[in-house]
A and B are shown apart, each in its own frame.
Chain A
Amino acid sequence: MPVQTAPPKIEVPRANREGSVTVPQADRAAKVAVRDLNFFYGKVQALHNISIEIPERIVMAFIGPSGCGKSTFLRTLNRMNDVIPATRVAGQVLIDERDIYAPGTDVVELRRRVGMVFQKSNPFPKSIFENVAYGLRINRVTKSNSELAGRVEEALKDAALWNEVKDRLKMSALSLSGGQQQRLCIARALAIRPEVLLMDEPASALDPIATSKIEELIFDLKKQYTIVIVTHNMQQAARVSDTTAFFLLGKLIEVNSTEKMFTAPHEKLTEDYITGRFG
């Protein structure tokens, strides 16, 4: 198992799902660049020398067995692990070439730029409107109620939820279905216009129809955002992502175009995992 010391080369997908040629990723700036990242829960090392580059406006999927470190790694990208006691990070996570672990980093501002959607939808016990408006209000982003309403509508539209809730914005968010609640959480994350969106198994608790809506949404959102998604569902990774990274035992084993990853992976460990012959 090779130790990653330099960002793995990502093979360029030859065409996107619509058949048009994608911009070669080598020509795209890396939105996120991780260099020799190690992460510890107390004395236990959870991530080992991770180096990877995530180009702008693509969907990258993280796959791997439970406990392989993919969610831990995802949370290092907006310092969500900071809230866990006795954790330690070594290495660099650069977003737009700035190390987010550098002293003096404004973590609140970082999380505004790098939004997150969790496995279980977690709407606030407030109205649909207030859920989306919440981040805008606490960050004092908008100057007037009409501007606030406009941003809420825009976020709900971006999350493909507007048509379903536009007539009941004052109703409790908890009255929505599971899939709608998850899209509401995505709208809440989008309202403050992040640059990177981290998704930790965003559809794992949803039925196939709701999952399909989330996946379509991810596909649309990549036009504007850099999206990183952790998923246990390999078909989902194959459907929604442009590139896929495979983690095992806290190590990054392979990063490749999703097309290559699922038809002819480079590493035997990857092949064994995705063909279900792991172990």
Chain B
Amino acid sequence: MDLHRHLDDELGSLRDRVLLLGGEAEMALDRAMYALSERDSEVARHVLDHDDEVDHLEVEIDRQCIDIIALRQPAARDLRFVISVAKMAPVLERIADHACNIARAAIDLNNEPELKSVLDLSRMAEHALKMLRAALDAFTSGDAIVAREIIKSDSAINDLYNHTFHRLIELMVTEPATATRDARLLFVAKHLERIGDYVTDICELTVYMAEAAFIKHTN
């Protein structure tokens, strides 16, 4: 029994680490958007400086997954959990990378006069963050039903992205002087839209973990 408790401890530690990584990604996004909306480049630089720690955490999770697979040979729900975490960690790291890209955009934009279009992006970011938090909660509780609901809610981010896209294009046409800054905001919008897609990936992994069902690339 001690050996099995040992495996449980290792799986628990892995769960803690991936949630820590999720928390880091969430915080990076939150801070990057704060840096953009509040024009605080110091916060943006902090997001960029912190990214190495996020990368390091991802590598640690990779190693831990490999160790558990090689040494403990998990099966069934344990195997599904380890595989889900191994696939989830790079997704979370990429979310943090997108947050870094937003932080870079914030530093550039903060040196220029403010644009009102940032407000639309805040709504998108708010929705993406809400999805990310809910996805991490669903993963923690192994709740496939909630995970499926979150996947459905990604369409709201896509709608917001489409709306923002058209609005920014309009602005570029009507106010060519702001076109460079609008283009930067367009990239920010795209990063947020991609984050919504990554949250969907996390939810698909939660469904796999809980139900052994592959729902990726299905309707």
Contact = CB atoms under 8 A, between A and B. Distances in A.
B13 interface: no
A276 B77 CA distance: 11
Given A263-B212, A276-B7, A235 B76 contact: no
A262 B74 CA distance: 9
Contacts of A238: 75
A275 interface: yes
A234 B4 contact: no
Chain B interface bracket (under 10, 10 to 19, 20 to 34, 35 or more): 10 to 19
A263 B80 contact: yes
Contacts, number: 30
Contacts of A11: none
Interface in B1-46: 3-4, 7
Contact of A277 (B4, B73, B79, B80): B4
B78 interface: yes
Contact of A235 (B73, B78, B79): B73
Interface in A232-272: 234-235, 238, 262-265, 270-271
B76 A271 contact: yes
A151 to B, nearest CB: 40
A130 to B, nearest CB: 41
A262 B4 contact: no
Nearest to B3: A276
Contacts of A264: 76, 80, 212
Interface residues of A, number: 13
Contact of A263 (B3, B7, B79): B79
Given A235-B73, A275-B74, A262 B79 contact: yes
Contacts of A263: 75-76, 79-80, 212
A238 B7 CA distance: 20
A265 B4 contact: no
Contacts of B80: 263-264
Given A263-B212, A264-B212, A271 B4 contact: no
A276 B1 CA distance: 8
Nearest to A270: B76
A165 interface: no
Contacts of B4: 275-277
A94 interface: no
B77 A275 contact: yes
A14 B139 CA distance: 28
A274 interface: yes
Interface in B77-102: 77-80
A238 B74 CA distance: 12
Nearest to A272: B76
Interface in B127-156: none
A278 to B, nearest CB: 9
Across chains A and B, which 10 residue pairs bring their CB atoms closest together, nearest first?
Answer: A264-B212, A274-B75, A276-B4, A271-B76, A262-B75, A275-B78, A275-B76, A274-B76, A275-B75, A265-B76
17 contacts: A235-B73, A238-B75, A262-B75, A262-B79, A263-B75, A263-B76, A263-B79, A264-B80, A264-B212, A270-B76, A274-B75, A274-B76, A275-B4, A275-B76, A275-B78, A276-B4, A277-B4
Given A274-B75, A276-B4, 8 more contacts: A234-B75, A262-B79, A263-B75, A263-B80, A264-B76, A270-B76, A271-B77, A275-B78
